[in-house]
Amino acid sequence: MQTLSQSPHDRRFLRNPYRFYREARAAGPFFHWEELGLVCTTSYAAANAILRDRRFGREVPPGRASAVPDHLAPFAAVEAHSMLELEPPRHTRLRNLVLRAFTSRRIGTMQPEVAALSESLVAAVPEGPFDLLPAFSQRLPITLIARLIGIPESLAPELLRWSSAMVAMYQAGRTRKTEERAALAAADFSDFLRLHIEARRHAPADDLLTHLIAAEADGQQLSTDEIVSTCILILNAGHEAAVHAIGNAAAVLLRHRTPPEALAPPHLLGTVEELLRFDPPLHLFRRMAYERVEIMGRTIEEGCEVALLLGAANRDPGPWERPDRFLWNRPEKTHLAFGAGLHFCLGAPLARLELATALPILFGRLPNLQLVKPPSYGDSWHFRGLERLIVSA
């Protein structure tokens, strides 16, 4: 297996990680990424197979789990009940209960709300050059997630601070300071939600928090710890991924001078899927091998952790012709932007709804929208996203 070196913090890499992915793909379906210390795959077939293979998972077996440092205890307490970190049977029970509250039907009813919020945000953009991220891409998802869960929108800045601190734990090269910030955010976020859950038990409302409290299957309900972890997961994953999905999509559409018909029926939904394939917000999932497994001629030893490079898998020339081209009218094929298998993203319907509703309104109401400066990408490769998108209308 070939070892390749690439700093995930290099500015050139952050602007365009796909160059490195092409180099890595030439090394075969698997390679060793020196800076990450991980076996990685750029292959769509390998990543898709591992995501669906029960011999791989997220949950660390009890015999392999290492002791949690004291300073990380609050963060670990949240992770202990997070669907993202669990495997069956705990994952099955928790996901089934959450799905009773987080239904596609419920998400579908939010379309008028997404449209109205998008219209109000577009109407409020300033004259002259402005940053589209705080004006639109950030405010839309955090407002919608707060409303969905049942958290006052006035607390959005605090939610953003907690979310950013916790999500930083998944980035390459985290420091002790990163860990301490994440632990503090996890403690504060958990304390806030416990108070809010208690209030909802006495005064139910038509929000996700109330539905999670009421969700029941086979005589079992979610515990308070499970509700806390689920709400944090939905906000962190839903907000971070959605912000980057909208920002990345807007940048792609602007850079490619995409015609208006791409964001109108019958092409709209296909364009959304191509945007998610071409520049997804999440570039890495990790899976641990629970036994010795052979994938595409490569033996993965028990206990080995494999990094699935979703951004690279979505540019694999096997499934897609001219994969490095953004083709809004490309025939649809299943991509891995939302993962696959047991851990397929619970928020995928909401993310697709936001993109399919917000982008036509943004570009329809601002037909002269254009880039003023090249998009600037943040030092957060794992969650690929912009730190600035300066445009003019």
The CATH number that applies at residue 83 is 1.10.630.10
> Into how many domains does the chain fold?
1
- Which residue range forms the structural domain that includes residue 141? 3-392
Q: Is 208 helix (H, G, I), strand (E, B) or coil?
A: helix
- In the DSSP assignment, the letter for residue 206 is S
Structural tokens at position 36 = 């990450």
The pLDDT tens digits along the chain (393 residues) read 899 999 999 999 999 999 999 999 999 999 999 999 999 999 999 999 999 999 999 988 776 777 788 899 999 999 989 998 899 988 998 888 888 777 778 888 899 999 999 999 999 999 889 999 999 999 999 899 888 888 888 888 888 889 888 988 887 778 889 999 999 999 999 999 999 999 999 999 988 889 888 886 666 788 999 999 999 998 887 778 899 999 999 999 999 999 999 999 999 999 999 999 999 999 999 999 999 999 998 999 999 999 999 999 999 999 999 999 999 999 989 999 999 999 999 889 999 999 999 999 999 999 999 999 999 998 888 889 999 999 998
Q: Name the amino acid, one letter, at 120.
A: S
Q: Report in angstroms the alpha-carbon separations of 217 from 92, 97, 134.
A: 11, 6, 40
- The Cα–Cα gap between 264 and 146 comes to 28
Among candidate residues 362, 324, 323, the one with its CA nearest the CA of residue 124 = 362
- Give this prediction's pTM: 0.93
Contacts of 326 (CB under 8 A, 6+ apart): 252, 256, 258, 274, 275, 278
Q: Give 20-55 pLDDT, tens digit per residue.
A: 999 999 999 999 999 999 999 999 999 999 999 999
Among candidate residues 329, 198, 316, 342, the one with its CA nearest the CA of residue 259 = 329
Among candidate residues 235, 242, 263, the one with its CA nearest the CA of residue 366 = 263
- The Cα–Cα gap between 114 and 265 comes to 18
